[in-house]
Amino acid sequence: MQGPGSTGTSSGSRGAGGPHGGHRSVGRVIGVVVGAVLLLISTGLLAGGTALLWADRTQRDDGFVWTETSDLRTSTYALVSDSILLDTAGADRVRDDFLGRARIEVTDTHIFVGVAPSRAVAAYLSGVGHHRVNHLGPRWDGGMGPGMMTGVEGGAPRGLPADSDIWVDESTGSGTRVLDWRTQDGDWTVVVMGADGRAGLAVDVRGGVTAPGLGALGSGLLDVGAALLVGGALLVALAVHRAQRSRGPGGAAPPPPLPTPRAGESDEARPAPTTAERG
């Protein structure tokens, strides 16, 4: 029987189940978790970078990256975009390098298209029946889907749209009207109306931006995503490899070491080794 000062139990605790083994297990778990997080982030970055490069290389026409053409129809007096909020804190270079110029093409007979501050548009169309376009781009069948436009009841406008001084850029006429706009910080809204103020519109609309930095941004996302992918994979592989090594050959955990005998304890008093220990 061992006395209070026996070290047998404490020596055995240093084995695979002791504190050092527990610390190694915690480290391996942390490595797997961090590696998995890096892999998840890399997946999003790689997908985003691929999409940007695809748009940059396949969706350009005349230097612009375009939306799909939408066939918009309303029995009211105007079609209005959602507000377009641009805020680069005055960093013109950032806006010019990554967004560039915007272009809107609208096709109809005797049509008006203009862009103005959202607050000014709200005042101009107060009490005027119109539809707000929530999503630009057709459904799979090319038509308008539910929820793509929101109707606002009202009457006719008080004057012709071209007579208003709220527009920062505008175009009036028949056929395809092109509105080129150098983007600026602010809250903006695009408005399409009949040039004569009539009710009822049936127009084809598409929008685009030059986005000169789109390719560089996509390549940057791919580079960062690839680096995180490699780092995450290495962390997971290293944790799995260390876990396999700690279990020894054949995947079995190594047997705990024999207890250290107390000073003066004879070999006869030492506990007989178990079958696993003999192996």
**CATH number of the domain bearing residue 113:** 2.60.120.380
235 and 115 within one domain: no
Same domain, 153 and 228: no
Query: Sorting pLDDT into bands at 50, 70 and 90, what band is 10?
Result: very low
Confidence band for 279, pLDDT divided at 50, 70 and 90 = low
Residue 101 structural domain: 64-209
Read off the pLDDT band of 13 (50, 70, 90): very low
| Any domain includes 203 | yes
**pLDDT classification of 120: cutoffs 50, 70, 90:** very high
pLDDT in tens, 173-218: 988 999 888 888 889 999 999 999 999 999 998 888 888 877 788 8
Question: pTM for the complete prediction?
Answer: 0.61
Which phi-psi region, left, alpha or beta, contains residue 154 (left: φ > 0; alpha: ψ -120 to 50)? left
Residue 8 lies in a domain: no
Verify that 244 and 202 share a domain, yes or no.
no
Mean pLDDT across 146-161: 84
DSSP string, 197-261: --S-EEEEEEEEE--TTHHHHHHHHHHHHHHHHHHHHHHHHHHHHHHHHHT-GGGPPPPPPPPPP
Same domain? 77 vs 160: yes
Q: What H or E segment, with its residue span, contains residue 14?
A: none
**Number of domains composing the chain:** 2
Q: Are residues 178 and 236 in the same domain?
A: no
One domain, residues 186 and 78: yes
Cβ-count burial 22-56 (b if 16+ within 10 Å, e if not): eeeeeebeebbeebeebbeebeebbeebeebbebb
